[in-house]
């Protein structure tokens, strides 16, 4: 039986690594992407890593006629829906663009899945749905909080839409994976995170600073109530996160009218200063950094309880922050070698 899986946003950061892991586990990933936040060169990286030409449908997930055609031509058994805009700050400036892209793409997808009898969905959610947690680690029972950004709100709305569609006995079986902070790159250095603009996330800013593309990193505050005063996050290697998607697809097999959400993290908190120090160690580079003021909206500390992940998927992360930073640096060095100009450098 064909194991075609539609991977929307499959040319993006997490999607591309998931495509590699899907192929490794006998699935046949089919990428749907409009390259609004990725480069076509990702397809070459995928081919070099896997030795296979991955099927690509170039188009917009909000376009129902296009999506219907993709489903008719490929008859997928499931979908992993990564396609979305993801820049928190930008979402505050352009809320309509974020609601349109992130919510309409999901609605279109669910309509087409229903019409074409495709029943398994893995959805990219985020730990942002927990807001500022009252208790750590954050379990799936922790209350969600009103999102502080339109981006965060799109994830909460999307989870609700999926839950309601399952409750309507549509036959859909879905899991929302609530990611913590994905970092790192493929160990070959052939695919990785490729910010098309000045990165707002920590690790790409660190690697770009070490590579001389940025003057210095600003650490956003060292006066938090944490051991070294800087924020704490749960940084998960993108390869581990990719594997979690494959495990979730396996888990969904045979289920009907089913919905759940699962934290995907390591269970371990790491501070911003620890990231900087570990990066300096693994890259053998001195990082130019300064301590700045707090970034509005930053949560003091958050890391996942992984009990449910272990219990439900019978799996846990295997890779380390140290390894992720090494892989991120290797990827950055490769970008520099290829003189890729899409790093917010004009
Ligand atoms: P990314 O921007 O690298 O990848 C998203 C991909 O989707 C891109 O290739 C982009 O071109 C494509 N895309 C966007 N809108 C599209 C549309 N309408 N039609 C077709 N293609 C479209 O982002 P990522 O980091 O890989 O994130 C993937 C998913 O995970 C997103 O839903 C994001 O919100 C979620 N997520 C990411 C993080 C993170 O830190 N990276 C954390 C939590 C959740
Ligand atoms: C952010 C989003 C989150 C989203 C995720 C992925 C917020 C509040 N949260 O998570 O919803 O899912 O990105 O896109 O925006 N830092 C610095 N200097 C920098 C960059 C970051 O000190 O130049 C610090 C931040 O203050 C934070 C940590 O590094 O403590 C991680 O930041 P980042 O990579 O942006 O991720 P989050 O803020 O955790």
Find out whether 294 and 220 touch, Cβ atoms under 8 Å: yes
Give the pair of three-digit tokens for residue 146. 């009103």
Summarised one tens digit per residue, pLDDT across range 186-241 is 999 999 999 888 999 999 999 999 999 999 999 999 999 999 999 999 999 999 99
With a 6 A CB cut-off, is 198 part of the ligand 1 pocket? no
One digit per residue, pLDDT tens: the chain, 346 residues? 679 999 999 999 999 999 999 999 999 999 999 999 999 999 999 999 999 999 999 999 999 999 999 999 999 999 999 999 999 999 999 999 999 999 999 999 999 999 999 999 999 999 999 999 999 999 999 999 999 899 999 999 999 999 999 999 999 999 999 999 999 999 999 999 998 889 999 999 999 999 999 999 999 999 999 999 999 999 999 999 999 999 999 999 999 999 999 999 999 999 999 999 999 999 999 999 999 999 988 999 999 999 999 999 999 999 999 999 999 999 999 998 876 555 555 4
With a 6 A CB cut-off, is 125 part of the ligand 2 pocket? no
* 162 HSE (CA, 13 A, CB side): 28
Distance (angstroms) between ligand 2 centre and the Cα of 68 equals 36
| CB environment 128-152: b (16+ within 10 A), e (fewer) | bbbbebeebbbebebebeebbbbbb
Find out whether 289 and 220 touch, Cβ atoms under 8 Å: no
Indicate which residue's Cα is closest to atom 30 of ligand 1. 124
**Which residue among 10, 13, 107 has the greatest number of ligand 1 atoms within 8 angstroms of its CB, and so is best to mutate?**
13
Of 13, 98, 151, 224, which is the active-site residue? 151
Active site residue 151: yes
Summarised one tens digit per residue, pLDDT across range 17-34 is 999 999 999 999 999 999
């Amino acid at each position: 039986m064909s194991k075609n899986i539609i991977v929307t946003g499959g040319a993006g950061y997490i999607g591309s690594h998931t495509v590699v892991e899907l192929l490794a586990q006998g699935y046949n990933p089919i990428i749907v992407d409009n390259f609004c936040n990725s480069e076509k060169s990702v397809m070459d990286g995928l081919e070099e890593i896997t030795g296979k030409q991955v099927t690509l449908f170039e188009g917009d997930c909000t376009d129902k006629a296009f999506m219907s055609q993709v489903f008719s031509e490929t008859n997928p058994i499931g979908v992993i829906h990564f396609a979305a805009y993801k820049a928190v700050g930008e979402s505050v400036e352009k809320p309509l663009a974020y609601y349109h892209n992130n919510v309409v793409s999901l609605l279109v997808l669910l309509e087409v899945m229903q019409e074409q009898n495709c029943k398994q969905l893995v959805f990219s959610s985020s730990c942002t749905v927990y807001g500022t947690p009252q208790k750590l680690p954050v379990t799936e029972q922790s209350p969600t909080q009103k999102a502080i950004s339109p981006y965060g709100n799109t994830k909460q709305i999307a989870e609700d839409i999926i839950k309601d569609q399952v409750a309507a006995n549509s036959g859909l079986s879905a899991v929302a994976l609530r990611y913590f902070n994905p970092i790192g790159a493929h160990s070959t250095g052939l695919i990785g995170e490729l910010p098309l603009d000045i990165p707002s996330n920590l690790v790409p800013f660190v690697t770009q600073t070490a590579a001389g593309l940025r003057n210095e990193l600003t650490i956003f505050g060292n006066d938090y109530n944490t051991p070294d005063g800087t924020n704490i996050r749960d940084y998960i290697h993108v390869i581990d996160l990719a594997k979690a998607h494959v495990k979730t697809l396996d888990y969904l097999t045979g289920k009907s009218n089913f919905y759940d959400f699962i934290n995907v993290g390591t269970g371990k908190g790491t501070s911003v200063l620890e990231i900087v120090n570990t990066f300096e160690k693994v890259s053998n580079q001195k990082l130019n950094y300064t301590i700045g003021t707090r970034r509005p909206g930053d949560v003091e500390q958050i890391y996942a309880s992984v009990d449910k992940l272990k219990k439900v998927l019978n799996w846990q992360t295997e890779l380390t922050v140290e390894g992720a930073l090494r892989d991120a640096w290797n990827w950055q060095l490769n970008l520099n070698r290829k003189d890729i100009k899409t790093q917010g450098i004009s």
